[in-house]
Amino acid sequence: MRSPQRGEDLDLDQRVNVLGDGGEARLRVAISLLSLPPQGTGTTTYARDLVRALGARPDELSVEVLCNEHAMARLEGLGTETVTLRRARGFSVGLNPVHRTVALLGAAAFPGRLTRQLVSDPMVVHYPLTVGIPPVKRPTVLSLHDVGHRDVFPHGRHDVVRAWRAMTYDRPARHATVVLTGSEHARARIAEVLGIPLEQIMVAYHGVDDRFTPTPGERDTTLRERFGLPERFVYYPASIHPHKNHLRLLEALALIEDSELGLVLTGAATPPRLREVIDHAQALGLGARVHHLGFVDDDDLPALYRTARAMVFPSMYEGFGLPPIEAMACGCPVASTHSGSLGEVCGDGAAVLEPEDVEQMAATISSAATDGPARDSLRQRGFARAAMFTWYEAATKTLDAYRRAVALGA
């Protein structure tokens, strides 16, 4: 019997099923990475790993990725018969935030020169970095990782950030055919804050890349020498923002009896925020025990997790929270809050930090970093938890979002 085709009287579920059961040719997908910043972030890692995972599904889709100069560099080697990497002509975001802002505003106002470079006639366009550039007149999927710009940033000096993200995040999300996010917590907040119907928002948990394993690599042997790290340390990979809770983490470290235990920090920091952290550490007598490495090469992250006594994540807000499960996959004990999505993601694989209770944080971190049955149990629970998050499953859920967007646009 002939399978029903698009354009006939089908309800939405039937149309999605047709797309998933061979009733259509492979999905033709365009992915825009035009807003990718020069520095690595959690969202850039998500975009790269998602493209890699989709590239392993040649029977289900073809992918055309429209890249700026930084995306071309970060996705080097990911072009396959399934994935075509295309450097956008006449478009650059540069290294300066002002340059990037001007470039994105220009692309939003005059999208034609960019949309004409999508040569595959895509059935759906995906914006993994949230910014809906270039706008298109066809079904879209937009990844909105959280609404932290609404939930976290207070009024006042962050009003410019809120206004920018209202234009580049909120407006595109409200106009997207399907919104994709990384947790049920984020899904609920997006619906409540932006007024987008829940049925229009789909969840695809992120995966853990295969390089995050407990097996040491070449970089492990030189890690301490290259970065000047202490013999024993706990590790916190997070940009320095107030909601990341660095100051209370320092206060907790000061209460831990083991005075040889150091703290290693990585991630972005503006000079004023970094100075605030450094000054607070010095005031607590921790100056020599705190090491801020800034951005580190992605290939050094597994070695940092494997070398650390524990990974700590005292954040007060997350839309997903990939570092804890990366650390778990490397066999690093994790102590994390359950703020935002973190309880949903970490489950029983991490010791629970109370983000506003410095004494509780100190005791929990000390236990996670000290050899013994509690630490061993934490490692084993972490392995089991991390195994639940794969990029194959993330790609499957993303494909479901593409099919739903195409069906809704039929």
Confidence of residue 11 (pLDDT cuts 50, 70, 90): low
Phi then psi for residue 83, to 5 deg, are: -115, 125
CB neighbour list of residue 285: distance below 8 Å, 6 or more residues apart: 254
The answer to whether 12-207+391-408 and 218-386 have equal CATH topology is: yes
Residue 382 has pLDDT above 80, yes or no: yes
CB neighbour class for 84 (10 Å; exposed up to 12, middle 13-18, buried from 19): middle
What is the domain partition of the chain in residue ranges? 12-207+391-408, 218-386
Q: Do residues 379 and 349 lie in contact, with contact meaning Cβ atoms separated by under 8 Å? A: no
Name the residue with tokens 């995966």.
207
C-alpha 329 chain-centroid distance: 16
Residue 281 has pLDDT above 70, yes or no: yes
Q: What is the pLDDT of residue 163?
A: 77
Chain mean pLDDT for the chain: 91
Tokens of 410: 């039929």
Which pLDDT tens digit goes with each residue over 65-114? Answer: 999 999 999 999 999 999 999 999 999 999 888 898 899 889 888 999 99
- What whole-number distance in Å separates Cα of residue 212 and Cα of residue 52? 15
Q: Which position has the higher pLDDT, 268 or 143?
A: 143
CATH fourth-level superfamily of 218-386: Glycogen Phosphorylase B; (3.40.50.2000)
Range scoring the smallest mean pLDDT among 165-174, 210-219, 244-253, 269-278:
165-174
Residue 2 has pLDDT above 60, yes or no: no
- What whole-number distance in Å separates Cα of residue 205 and Cα of residue 195? 22
CB neighbour list of residue 362: distance below 8 Å, 6 or more residues apart: 252, 253, 255, 256
- What whole-number distance in Å separates Cα of residue 179 and Cα of residue 173? 6
Residue 22 has pLDDT above 60, yes or no: no
Average pLDDT score over residue span 309-327:
96
Q: What is the pLDDT of residue 24?
A: 55
Phi then psi for residue 38, to 5 deg, are: -70, -30
Which pLDDT tens digit goes with each residue over 183-216? Answer: 999 999 999 999 999 999 999 999 999 999 999 9
Phi then psi for residue 313, to 5 deg, are: -140, 80
Start-to-end CA distance of the chain, whole Å, equals 22
- What whole-number distance in Å separates Cα of residue 404 and Cα of residue 299? 35
Tokens of 273: 């925020």
Which pLDDT tens digit goes with each residue over 221-232? Answer: 999 999 999 999
* CATH number 3.40.50.2000 given to 12-207+391-408: yes
